[in-house]
């Protein structure tokens, strides 16, 4: 519920150990470094920054170029546990840079070849289109003049040279067709691009080509030519694919070296990032940062070891550092939740980071979020489908947390499905708690505890009151820990606000319990609501007194106005927050109603009788899919909204800073 206790270290080591210190800080990865400059005037002007021998920008550029090569192949480089953190100099950077330039150049060459092949394909496709559009009915002379880029030739070669010619013509966008044989010679009709004619002519001469007159009518051969073009296109497309693979193979060939360079550049980048936080004097290096108290002894020992005890470390508790000011100097928050709860921690951090020392609501969000989702989407079958989808989605690293959240939500839906007896919208087993479907359809047993939709609404309002009450309690604890007594007593989220909320609940319950005919007795109303309302009025003047402000008559008007506004906010805020939880019932009812609608449609398409037809089953399957997608999404969003706006706003300000040490595993 609370973040891990932190401790601040101020350290001084001899400059000769600066390198060893950086390595150990990187390896341990437990220190959230703070820039010495943030200490303000206490930092001496004689201290200077550490400048690495090589600029980080060049290393980052090389790393990013490598990522650009390997990521399209699905390779995500990572720093191994036992990595050697080596120094990097300009020569290394130049060497790596030219190595990458070479790969880049090779890739560019491959892409150029791809482009050439692609253009040949385009030309051939154009010939194909022309042949398909116009056939070869037209007078060849006209064809030649109109499409001056297309060359058509009729000729013959010896049958023995045919294979050789076929092979030699493969590299050109040309098609030829065998139109007949005579005296051991094959008669061929050849279409090619004029641009290539010179080269093709050489190939033809080698094969013993003898030109013949082009016949006027070639249309009967149109199909054969189209077939030849198809073959040629298939060949070129195959070539294109090969080149595409060649580009991948080129990168894969040097994958190991590229990964090694990536690791080296990345470690150097992180190394210099750690050193950015240092300040140095003539002989010493100074650093400061936060680390979890539990890691203090290990880090202290390690630093002393690598510096051969030539270091001075001063450890300060959080309370001892308050005089350093807020912002970067305040303690960061390291949330203390088991890995299992990661998806819920994601929901919390998406809203904000809890301030150090305040309550981290993650464990409570597990309960509130899942129970809200379960109440809105209660079905065993549909829940298990979501859980399975989540389990499958967990394989994708990018969606791991979200998919795990889906698993949780699916299981919660299944649990509530068992409680309400819903299995893909059907009641295969008796509900363990109450019959949600029966209540919505109006077919519920007379002796059942929950009988009407109003009972469900009441349940969700009670649930809402509990959640809001818990939010107020957390706020009181936070205010108590921060010793903010004034806010704890008189704020609308403080004890006085809680009093008003409790009194409001009592009054509303009394009104409902008396059939909306009478309010609590006047004395009770005055005691329960009148007193805190008047106490709220004291807030303004007391604040004035505590802060020693000079009184002026207009301040009274301010007090009254602030008081009225505060009362409006308190009453309307608590009322709307509580009623907001009725959406849980609303979505639950909508879920059941949608399933009912699909059952009715299935019955209608199946015709008379109890049995469902194939179409009826199909309607139910599609209906379930639609409900899972539509209702699942809206239940997820509404549960999140209720947590953020009705629960978190009571106590959670999200003004903390996340504990982010620089380590070999740092991703950004």
Partner 1 sequence: MILDVKKYAFINAKLRARISKIPDAPFYDRLLRAKNLPEAMGLLKNTSYTEIYRVYEKTGDLKMAEKKLLEHEIDLFVDIQKYVDGDLLHIVRALSLRFEIENVKNAIRLFFDQHIRGRSILESGAYLVTKTVVHDINFDRMINANNFIQIRDLLQHTPYAKMINDTRQSVEQKKSLFDLEIGLDRYFYRNLFEKLDKLSGLDKKYADRLLGVEVDLQNIAWLVRFRDFYKFPASRAMRYLIPRGYNLSHDTLEQAYAGHDVTFLLKHVLGANYAGLSTMLSAQESRQTSRLAILEQVLDKILSIQVKRVLSGYPFTIGILLSYFILKSNEMKKLKTILNAKQYKLANERVQGLL
Residues that bind partner 1 (CB under 8 A): 61, 64-65, 68-69, 71-72, 101, 104-105, 107-108, 110-115, 117-119, 122-123, 125-126, 129, 133, 148-149, 193-195, 240, 243-244, 247
In terms of CB distance, is 241 or 514 closer to partner 1? 241
Can you spell out the DSSP letters for 182-233?
Answer: ETTEEEEEEEEEGGGHHHHHHHHHHTT-EEEPPPS--GGGHHHHHHHHHHHH
**Among residues 9 and 124, whose Cβ is nearest to partner 1?**
124
Q: How far is the CB of 570 from partner 1 (least distance, A)?
A: 32
Distance CA 616, CA 303 (A): 72
Among 273, 271, 266, 267, residue whose Cα is nearest residue 35: 273
**Minimum gap (Å) between residue 116 Cβ and partner 1:** 8
Question: Measured between alpha carbons, how far is 562 from 545 in angstroms, rounded to an integer?
Answer: 16
Name the minimum Å distance from CB 77 to partner 1: 15
Measured from the CB atom, the residue of 128 and 368 that comes closer to partner 1 is: 128
The Cα 232–Cα 630 span in angstroms is: 50
Q: Mark residue 121 as left, alpha or beta (left: phi above 0; alpha: psi -120 to 50; beta: remaining).
A: alpha
Q: Residue 123 or 492: which CB sits closer to partner 1?
A: 123
Residue 119 CB, shortest distance to partner 1, in Å, is 5
3-state secondary structure of 263: helix
Nearer to partner 1, 72 or 215 (CB): 72
129 vs 441, beta carbon nearer partner 1: 129
Structural tokens at position 630: 């539509």
Q: Among residues 250, 233, 234, 247, which one has the least CA distance to residue 113?
A: 247
Of 26 and 191, which has the nearer Cβ to partner 1?
A: 191
Nearer to partner 1, 93 or 365 (CB): 93
Complex with partner 1: residue 34 or 225, whichever CB lies closer: 225
CB of 67 to partner 1, least distance (A): 9
Q: How far is the CB of 126 from partner 1 (least distance, A)?
A: 6
- Over its C-alpha atoms, the chain yields an Rg (Å, rounded) of 39
Phi and psi for 314 in degrees, rounded to 5?
A: -120, 130
Kindly give, in sequence order, each residue whose CB lies less than 8 Å from that of residue 270, ignoring residues fewer than 6 positions away: 26, 662, 663, 664, 666
Q: Which is nearer to partner 1, 89 or 244 (CB)?
A: 244
Q: In terms of DSSP H, where are the helices of 526-553?
A: 531-546
Closest separation in Å from C-beta 72 to partner 1: 6
* Of 233 and 664, CB closest to partner 1: 233
In sequence order, the 6+-apart residues with CB closer than 8 A to the CB of 157 are: 165, 185, 186, 188, 204, 207, 208, 209, 210
Whole-number minimum distance, CB 64 to partner 1, in Å? 8
DSSP string, 621-666: HHHHHHHHHHHHHHHHHHHHHIIIIIIGGGT---B--B-----TT-
Q: At 6, give phi and psi (nearest 5°).
A: -115, 160
Q: Tell me how far, at minimum, the Cβ of 104 lies from partner 1, in Å.
A: 5
DSSP of 335-369, one letter per residue?
----GGGHHHHHHHHHH-BPPTTSB--HHHHHHHH
Report, in Å, the least distance between residue 93 CB and partner 1: 15
Quote the least distance from Cβ 498 to partner 1, whole Å.
Answer: 39
C-alpha to C-alpha distance for 63 and 60, rounded to whole angstroms: 5
Residue number with CB closer to partner 1 (170 or 194): 194
Give the H/E segment covering residue 61.
helix 56-70
List Cα–Cα distances, 306 to 10, 22, 285, in angstroms. 17, 10, 14
Q: Name the minimum Å distance from CB 666 to partner 1.
A: 21
Helix segments in 135-161, DSSP class H: 140-146
Our CB check for partner 1 shows the closer of 75 and 313 to be: 75
- Strand 210-212 to strand 311-317: parallel, antiparallel, or no bridges (unpaired)? unpaired
CA distance 23 to 281: 20
Q: How far apart are the first and last CA of the chain?
A: 27
Smallest distance, partner 1 to C-beta of residue 599, A:
34
SS3 percent helix, strand, coil of the chain, rounded to 5, is 65, 10, 25
């Amino acid at each position: 519920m609370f973040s891990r206790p932190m401790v601040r270290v101020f350290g001084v080591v001899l400059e000769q150990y600066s390198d060893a210190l950086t390595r150990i800080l990187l390896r341990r990865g437990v220190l959230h470094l703070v820039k010495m400059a943030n200490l303000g005037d206490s930092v001496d002007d004689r201290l200077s920054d550490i400048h690495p021998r090589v600029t980080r920008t060049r290393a980052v550029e090389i790393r990013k170029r490598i990522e650009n090569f390997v990521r399209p192949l699905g390779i995500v480089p990572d720093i191994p546990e036992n990595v050697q953190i080596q120094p990097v100099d300009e020569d290394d950077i130049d060497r790596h840079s030219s190595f990458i330039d070479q790969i880049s150049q090779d890739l560019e060459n491959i892409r150029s070849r791809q482009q050439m092949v692609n253009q040949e394909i385009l030309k051939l496709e154009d010939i194909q289109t022309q042949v398909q559009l116009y056939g070869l009915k037209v007078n060849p002379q006209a064809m030649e003049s109109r499409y001056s880029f297309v060359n058509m030739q009729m000729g013959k070669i010896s049958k023995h040279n045919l294979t050789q010619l076929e092979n030699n013509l493969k590299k050109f966008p040309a098609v030829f067709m065998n139109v007949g044989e005579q005296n051991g010679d094959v008669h061929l009709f050849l279409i090619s691009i004029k641009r290539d004619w010179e080269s093709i002519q050489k190939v033809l001469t080698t094969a013993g080509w003898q030109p013949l007159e082009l016949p006027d009518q070639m249309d009967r051969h149109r199909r054969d030519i189209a077939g030849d073009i198809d073959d040629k296109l298939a060949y070129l497309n195959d070539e294109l694919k090969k080149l595409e693979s060649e580009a991948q193979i080129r990168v894969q060939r040097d994958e190991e070296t590229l990964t090694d360079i990536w690791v080296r550049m990345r470690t150097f980048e992180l190394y210099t990032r750690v050193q950015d936080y240092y300040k140095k004097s003539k002989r010493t290096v100074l650093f400061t940062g936060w680390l979890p108290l539990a890691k203090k002894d290990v880090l202290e020992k390690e630093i002393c070891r690598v510096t051969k005890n030539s270091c001075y470390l001063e450890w300060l508790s959080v309370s001892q550092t308050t005089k350093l000011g807020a912002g970067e100097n305040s303690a960061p928050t390291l949330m203390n939740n088991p890995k299992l709860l990661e998806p819920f921690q994601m929901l919390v951090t998406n809203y904000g980071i809890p301030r150090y020392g305040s309550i981290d609501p993650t464990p409570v969000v597990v309960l509130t979020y899942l129970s809200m989702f379960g109440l809105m989407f209660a079905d065993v079958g549909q829940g298990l489908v979501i859980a399975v989808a989540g389990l499958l989605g967990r394989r994708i690293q990018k969606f791991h947390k979200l998919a795990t959240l889906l698993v949780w939500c699916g299981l919660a839906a299944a649990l509530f499905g068992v409680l309400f007896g819903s299995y893909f919208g059907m009641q295969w087993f008796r509900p363990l708690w109450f019959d949600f479907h029966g209540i919505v359809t109006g077919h519920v047993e007379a002796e059942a505890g929950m009988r009407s939709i109003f009972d469900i609404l009441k349940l969700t309002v009670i649930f809402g009151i509990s959640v809001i009450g818990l939010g107020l309690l957390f706020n009181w604890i936070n205010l108590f820990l921060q010793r903010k007594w004034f806010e704890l007593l008189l704020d609308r989220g403080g004890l006085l606000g809680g009093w008003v909320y409790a009194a409001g609940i009592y009054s509303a319950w009394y009104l409902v319990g008396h059939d909306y005919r009478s309010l609590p007795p006047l004395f009770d109303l005055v005691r329960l609501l009148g007193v805190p309302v008047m106490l709220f009025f004291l807030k303004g003047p007391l604040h004035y007194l505590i802060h020693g402000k000079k009184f002026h008559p207009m301040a009274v008007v301010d007090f009254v106005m602030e008081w009225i506004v505060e009362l409006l906010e308190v009453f309307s805020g608590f009322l709307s927050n509580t009623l907001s939880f009725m959406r849980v019932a609303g979505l639950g009812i909508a879920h059941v109603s949608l399933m009912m609608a699909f059952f009715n449609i299935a019955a209608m398409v199946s015709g008379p009788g109890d049995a469902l037809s194939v179409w009826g089953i199909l309607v139910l399957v599609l209906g379930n899919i639609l409900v899972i997608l539509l209702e699942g999404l809206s239940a997820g969003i509404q549960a999140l909204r209720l947590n953020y706006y009705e629960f978190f706003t009571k106590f959670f300000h999200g003004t903390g800073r996340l504990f982010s040490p620089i380590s070999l595993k740092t991703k950004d």
